[in-house]
Amino acid sequence: MILYNVTVNIDDSVHDEWLEWMRSKHIPDVLSTGLFTESKLYRIRTENEEEENTYSIQYFLRSMDDYKIYQKEYAEKLQFEHTEKFKDKFVAFRTIMELVA
């Protein structure tokens, strides 16, 4: 099992729009590639109120081969759509994790 985690900090000015767009458009588009078995959207909670708009979007894959296909065939377009829609209003980083136990 592979976990593709995208952590996003979104600006207050577009927070509600971003959250709705992620739920109704972006996450369904990622899942429609057929490469992911499921997704989860978490709000990251900290004691620092400035971090209240940070989210972890988790996408689960069966294998690294599926991840490589996603990167080669779909990631650029989907990430571009997000960047264009919320340009200069977010910071994101991505992490790949492999289940070992």
Residue range 11-36, pLDDT digits in tens: 999 999 999 999 999 999 999 999 99
Nearest to 22 by CA among 70, 100, 89: 89
What local confidence, expressed as pLDDT, does residue 49 receive? 67
Cα end-to-end span (Å), the chain: 10
Type and span of the H or E element at 85:
helix 76-85
CATH architecture for segment(s) 2-98 = 2-Layer Sandwich (3.30)
pLDDT tens for each residue of 41-88: 999 988 776 658 999 999 999 999 999 999 999 999 999 999 999 999
What local confidence, expressed as pLDDT, does residue 51 receive? 59
The pTM score is 0.91
What local confidence, expressed as pLDDT, does residue 52 receive? 81
Residue 4: band (very low, low, confident or very high) from pLDDT cuts 50, 70, 90 = very high
Residue spans of the domains in the chain: they are 2-98
Question: Is the Cα dihedral 5, 56, 70, 65 positive or negative?
Answer: positive
